[in-house]
Structure 1
Amino acid sequence: MLKSLAVASAALFISTAAFAQSTVIVTEPQPAPGAVVVHEMPTQVRTYVMQQSVPSVNYNGDVLVGRVLPQDVQVRTVDGYDDYGYTVVNERRVIVEPSTRRVIQVLD
């Protein structure tokens, strides 16, 4: 009787331990420092930027996604979309994150 009680207790303990491992936590990884994060942009932002007539600014170097524009390049805000700015650099329209001045997209 004592032996069967021990076997039953052991079986109960093992099955309880198996059920205890059912929780899974998933977190989104943070991008590496300096990584370029691509996100969907409203089509209205692109349309607005393409319709604006602003002078081009000369810039030494390539205008690339992820590049931070210098302070002397005027960045204008897209009407109705404060998270997007734009300018024209080296005859190319660029969409910029106004708070960091980082180029989000280069338009052709």
Structure 2
Amino acid sequence: MKALMTAAITGLLLAGPASAQTTVVTVPGEVRTYITEQEVPSVVYDGDIVVGTELPSSVEIHTIPSNDAYGYTVVNKRRVIVDPHTHRVIEVIR
């Protein structure tokens, strides 16, 4: 019985951290530099702009010529890096 309880507790301890993991995207520095140098108009968005927010298709996503894996826009006067395929915010540049 003691061995069974030990196995159950060990299983729970190992499962906990795995379920709490999140995906972290590391954006190349040259992408951030390019985005901060561009002048694009800010769009108004009614809601919080945080990592994972899916922007509506009406928000124009600008491309990065040297790296098509990332897009960007300016929302509520904050520059954001976006997945151009899903419109999900990858990073908010501060």
Alpha-carbon distance, 1:36 to partner: 5.1
Between Structure 1 and Structure 2, whose CA radius of gyration is higher? Answer: 1
Structure-2-length-normalised TM-score: 0.75
Relative CO higher for 1 or 2, CA cutoff 8 Å, sep ≥ 6?
2
Which blocks of at least 5 consecutive residues in structure 2 are unaligned?
1-17
Which structure has greater strand proportion?
Answer: 1
Which blocks of at least 5 consecutive residues in structure 1 are unaligned?
1-30
Alpha-carbon distance, 1:66 to partner: 0.3
- 1:65 paired residue number: 51
- 2:89 paired residue number: 103
- 2:36 paired residue number: 50
User: Structure 2 vs 1, CA of residues 36 and 84 (structure 1 numbering), >3 Å: closer, same or farther?
Assistant: farther
Alpha-carbon distance, 1:39 to partner: 1.9
Alignment-mate amino acid for residue 105 of structure 1: E
Distance 2:62 2:46 in 1: 20
Task: Map 1:18-97 to 2 at 5 A.
Answer: 37-97=23-83
Structure-1-length-normalised TM-score: 0.66
Structure 1 ranges of 4+ moved more than 2 A:
none
Alignment-mate amino acid for residue 48 of structure 1: Y
Distance 1:86 1:67 in 2: 13
Alpha-carbon distance, 1:43 to partner: 0.3
Identity of aligned residues (%): 51
Alignment-mate amino acid for residue 81 of structure 2: I
RMSD of aligned alpha carbons? 1.7
User: Structure 2 vs 1, CA of residues 49 and 101 (structure 1 numbering), >3 Å: closer, same or farther?
Assistant: same
